[in-house]
């Protein structure tokens, strides 16, 4: 059984605010990317034109294009300001636009990954550990009689269909995880420690490791942390140490439990052995008594 689902909410802002801001930022960032491309083209055009003998009209036209481009950049910045990102998420007022966009995309994508992964885990759990009648592993049947073969064939078919459904959804889940890990790498490159926003950790790229990864159930932080960032949150070695300490404590607890169980079993075997010895001695004494009577 996989561990119970526990969602750690790290944000005090409305849950739908990041989604709305992300969609609007996507449009602004797309426009800004086009403007950056046109800026590079204008710079290349000016460098090429200035190398040759060009008339003043050409230079004036180029200057007019650059002026228009500068106005568009100003308008784009004004458009970004009109989104009121800092009013909706005032904690991000000092964070760069690109970092905010990637951070919100990672926040939204991880929610999607978690839903997909948990659905696959439930199907795995049903296939591997289900017991009883309707929850019996697909393909197994306790029915006896002429319907046994048809029941078994039906169960096998359902089993195959379930595995096909899992395998069909797995590529989309893996693609989403790879994309999320790319976002994590980009955030680490753009990160400024003064923002004090805990960076999201990449997710494992295999379902087995993903199932046992505790960070899957944690939200992506989209607000700065107050005070110092807890070491368990920012340092993977601390998290590994906590897991190792918990495993050590569980092992000691299991060792004590097994010791108590072994003592109980030895005590039970001792009682049973004593009872058998007493029974044998009583039967021997009765047998010898009967022999003496017969003689």
How far the first Cα of the chain sits from its last, in Å, is: 70
**Please, which residues have CB within 8 angstroms of residue 222's CB and are 6 or more apart in sequence?**
11, 13, 18, 89, 92, 103, 104, 107, 197
How much is the pTM?
Answer: 0.52
Six token digits for residue 59: 């230079």
194 and 92 Cβ atoms separated by less than 8 Å: no
Residue 218 DSSP SS3:
strand
pLDDT band with cut points at 50, 70 and 90 for residue 7? very low
CA distance 203 to 111: 13
CA distance 57 to 60: 5
CA–CA distances in Å: residue 79 to residues 32, 67, 102, 199, 275: 11, 18, 19, 28, 90
The helix (H) or strand (E) run that includes residue 191 is none
With 0-12 CB in 10 A as exposed, 13-18 as middle and 19+ as buried, what is 166?
middle
Chain centre distance of CA 26: 24
pLDDT band with cut points at 50, 70 and 90 for residue 173? confident
% pLDDT > 70, the chain? 68
From 1-10, 174-183, 193-202, the region with the lowest mean pLDDT: 1-10
């Amino acid at each position: 059984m996989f561990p119970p689902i526990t969602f750690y909410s790290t944000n005090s802002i409305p849950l739908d605010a990041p989604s709305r801001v992300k969609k609007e930022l996507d449009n602004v960032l797309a426009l800004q990317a086009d403007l950056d491309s046109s800026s590079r083209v204008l710079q290349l055009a000016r460098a090429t034109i200035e190398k040759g003998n060009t008339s003043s009209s050409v230079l004036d036209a180029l200057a007019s294009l650059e002026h228009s481009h500068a106005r568009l950049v100003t308008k784009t910045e004004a458009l970004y300001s009109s989104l009121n990102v800092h009013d909706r998420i005032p904690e991000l007022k000092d964070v760069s636009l690109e970092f905010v966009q990637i951070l919100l995309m990672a926040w939204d994508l991880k929610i999607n990954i978690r839903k997909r992964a948990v659905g696959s885990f439930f199907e795995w759990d049903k296939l591997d550990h289900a017991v009883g009648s309707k929850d019996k592993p697909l393909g197994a049947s306790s029915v006896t009689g002429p319907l046994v073969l048809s029941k078994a064939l039906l169960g096998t078919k359902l089993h195959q269909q379930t595995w096909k459904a899992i395998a069909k959804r797995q590529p989309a889940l893996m693609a989403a995880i790879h994309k999320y890990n790319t976002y994590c790498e980009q955030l680490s490159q753009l990160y400024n420690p003064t923002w004090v926003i805990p960076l999201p950790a990449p997710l494992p790229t295999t379902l087995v490791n993903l199932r046992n990864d505790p960070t899957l159930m944690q939200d992506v932080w989209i607000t700065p942390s107050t005070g110092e960032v807890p070491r368990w949150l920012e340092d993977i070695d601390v998290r590994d140490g906590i897991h190792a300490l918990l495993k050590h404590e569980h092992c000691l607890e299991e060792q004590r439990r097994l010791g108590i169980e072994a003592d109980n079993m030895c005590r039970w075997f001792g009682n049973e052995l004593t009872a058998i010895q007493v029974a044998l001695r009583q039967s021997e004494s009765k047998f010898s008594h009967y022999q003496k009577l017969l003689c």
